[in-house]
Chain A
Amino acid sequence: MTANGHRRAYQSWGRYPRVEQQNVRPVYWRNNDLDLARIDGPVLPYGLGRSYGDSCLNGGGTLLDTSPLNRFIAFDEEAGLLRCEAGVTLADILKLIVPRGWFLPTTPGTKFVTIGGAIANDVHGKNHHRAGTFGRHVTRFELLRSDGERLICSPDENADLFRATIGGLGLTGLILWAEIRVQRVAGPFIAKEQIRFGSIDEFFEISAESDERFEHTMAWVDCLATGKHLGRGLFMRGNYTWPKRIPRKAAEPRSLFTMPVQLPAFALNLATVKAFNSLYYRSQLTRRTFQTVPYDPFFYPLDAIQEWHRLYGAPGFLQYQFVVPYAQDRTAIKDILRQISQSGVVSFLAVLKVFGDVPSPGMLSFPRPGVTLALDFPFRGQRTLALLDRLDEIVRAHGGVLYPAKDARMSAENFQAFYPQWREFARHIDPKFSSSFWRRVTQTTHE
């Protein structure tokens, strides 16, 4: 996607893996006969391709591009209910509702995702400990199945399909429109506190103390720190506010910078990342800082650099996000951080958060009570893959699971162990729908 919303390539955000040729069928109108049954081969809805791996790809099949489905349908300001077509983005919604005193109930770290994509991955945000996942705030949607049937799904109507479609990876049919509950907020600014922590244990202390008082919490971790610095980082927390004085430069955010071309793969190497991490950690001189900031840089720091994923060069990169149950001894997280810092494979972005216990509504939803860590790895062939395989085993041994929206390589066996409910889910899949991800993780079955 370029800044003006025009798409050039149908890849996933990690640009790995590349799949074989895909046909693309744009979906222009929610009322038109789409006649999906007449398309050759499997189909898969495609939003803005902000998933990292292959869950939004359909090699050899057809992608249903939902970006033209970008119309609002109704905004009931009494009830705080917004109805819109599935290709409407979170950015579109914010532009509409923020000036009227509302905000999204929860948001992922980019606003360039569609409502359809947010539902299909049941995405989570920095306020998971309060709001739960995005799917919790979806009141109903219309699902088009390949036999032409159109179903209204809600917690009361077609409830099974509702639960299957939330977090359903686009496999249960095409969401045409959805209704979500939006949230009244004190203001479009965040009163933000940033706290430096020197170890993973310190992180957990701050997190526990913060979750009661703050709507939003998360932390950045320096993955290259070792020994007594293991797990050091910066904790960020904040609440909505309307400041007495509007901070300067609070006007409509613009994208500062578009990564014009791919950088050569060596631009991000161990030395540069180590230097960056160290600098970033030290850039905060005092242990704690306070600042009121517009919502954009708080929630979407990466959106300021369009096409930032090109930083990783042609081979692309892998995201890796898991959640492990919250255990007193925190061994899983420590084990994994140690593995990474010893591996010499660099992770540029590492985000840590404690999920709350608000249940996720989807059958295959990823979020569950525990600690989640999201990492970025530039793709360096076998070395990267071997490290991630080792991490999988640690995650699995601690009863954790991986996030499909960010996966490009987990084994079928591990997927099926992480999500044993996948067989029950599979009963709700539309037979015409499939994805590269789904074929990868279910082509062989493991008991």
Chain B
Amino acid sequence: MKLMIIGATSAIAHEAARQFAADGAEFFLVGRDPDKLAAVQRDLDVRGAGRVVLHTLDLNDLAQHEALIAAAYDAMGALDAVLIAHGTLPDQARAQADVEATLEAFTTNALTYISLLTLLAGRFEQQRRGCIAVIASVAGDRGRGSNYVYGAAKGAVSLFASGLRARLSKAGVAVVTIKPGFVDTPMTAHLKKNPLFASPATVGRRIYVAMLKGEDVVYAPWFWRYIMWIIRLIPERVFKRLSL
């Protein structure tokens, strides 16, 4: 199994990678911090990974995406699966006051995904097999007053992936959308923890299974499917008055 992980230093992505490593997978890991990438590499190596190739890139540099994908194919020969996992949780208050902050958050959480998916789709469509997984979020299921910049970006990723799934299913390629709920990772370090928080290991294991099976849309943990189902049912005229 040859796997590319974009945003490989994410706590959730690393947990998924550990599962693949135990199967002896080979990795092409992309992140922006070489020290963190090296720490992930050594861990996967001990856990049984085959070759692990590292690539340092700030993904907001969209102009580099084409070269990135080419480098991955050069190094690996072929790719069986890709997991796109990077992301930031923007400060909503700051984004409201600052267009640039909003657009940057949108770039990191949506445009980079759209760019990478577009580049990868062609390759996977030709190879007629494999799996492309993206980490979206339950936050993308409905715009909330307190978090709509992040939510809108994640929603864009979900919609884009949904369309891409329809296109690539004809080529036998799976597109997997992962929608985690609250996960206890560096991204949520500043939030107060409640019982709905899951561990990155729980979500990572779920991603592994979803990718092997080529599932479509996966809520992780599973109960979020029902929570979000109810939340989507609330009429907008009521929803807009809730402070969520």
Contact = CB atoms under 8 A, between A and B. Distances in A.
A250 interface: no
Interface stretch (A68-76, A130-138, A411-419): A68-76
Interface stretch (B37-45, B141-149, B164-172, B207-215): B37-45
Contact of B42 (A5, A8, A28, A72): A72
A84 B47 CA distance: 12
Contacts of B42: 71-74
Interface stretch (B65-73, B74-82, B193-201): B193-201
Interface string B177-207: 0000000101001000101011101100000
B31 to A, nearest CB: 12
B199 A68 contact: no
A29 B43 contact: no
A31 B35 contact: yes
B201 A4 contact: yes
The interface centre, meaning the residue of B39, B40, B184, B198 with most chain A CB atoms within 10 A of its CB, is B39
B195 to A, nearest CB: 7
A33 to B, nearest CB: 11
Given A8-B193, A28-B186, A29-B36, A71 B199 contact: no
Contact of B184 (A6, A31, A72): A6
B199 A26 contact: no
Contacts of A74: 42, 46
A305 interface: no
Contact of B199 (A6, A31, A96): A6
A72 B47 CA distance: 8
A252 B189 CA distance: 33
Given A5-B201, A6-B198, A68 B46 contact: no
B12 to A, nearest CB: 12
Given A31-B39, A72-B46, A73-B42, A8 B202 contact: no
A330 interface: no
Given A29-B35, A68-B11, A74-B42, A96 B201 contact: no
Nearest to B40: A71
Contacts of B189: 26, 28
A68 B189 CA distance: 11
Given A68-B11, A71-B39, A96 B197 contact: no
A29 B39 contact: yes
A16 B42 CA distance: 39
Interface string A11-52: 000000000000000101111000000000000000000000
Contacts of A8: 193, 195
A73 B197 contact: no
Contacts of B193: 7-8
B43 A5 contact: no
Nearest to B201: A5
Given A29-B36, A31-B36, A96 B43 contact: no
A377 B201 CA distance: 35
Contacts of A30: 39
Nearest to B189: A26
A354 to B, nearest CB: 36
Given A26-B189, A74-B46, A75-B46, A6 B39 contact: no
A5 B186 contact: no
Interface string A85-122: 00000000000100000000000000000000000000
B39 A4 contact: no
Contact of A71 (B43, B184, B195, B198): B43
A105 to B, nearest CB: 18
Contacts of B197: 6
A4 B36 contact: no
Contacts of A72: 42-43, 46-47
Contacts of A28: 11, 186, 189
Contacts of B202: 4-6
Nearest to A5: B199
A73 B46 CA distance: 7
Interface string B18-60: 0000000000000000011001101100110000000000000
A73 B36 CA distance: 12
Contacts of A68: 11, 186
Nearest to B38: A31
B122 to A, nearest CB: 35
Contacts of A73: 39, 42-43, 46
Contacts of B201: 4-5
Interface string A58-74: 00000000001001111
A49 to B, nearest CB: 15
A446 B47 CA distance: 50
Interface string A310-344: 00000000000000000000000000000000000
3 closest pairs, A vs B, by CB? A72-B46, A71-B43, A6-B199
Interface of B: 11, 35-36, 39-40, 42-43, 46-47, 184, 186, 189, 193, 195, 197-199, 201-202
15 contacts: A4-B198, A4-B199, A4-B201, A7-B184, A28-B11, A29-B36, A29-B39, A31-B39, A71-B39, A71-B40, A71-B43, A72-B42, A74-B46, A84-B46, A96-B46
Given A4-B202, A31-B36, A71-B43, 19 more contacts: A4-B201, A6-B184, A6-B197, A6-B198, A26-B189, A28-B11, A28-B189, A29-B35, A29-B36, A30-B39, A68-B186, A71-B39, A71-B40, A72-B43, A73-B39, A73-B43, A73-B46, A74-B46, A75-B46
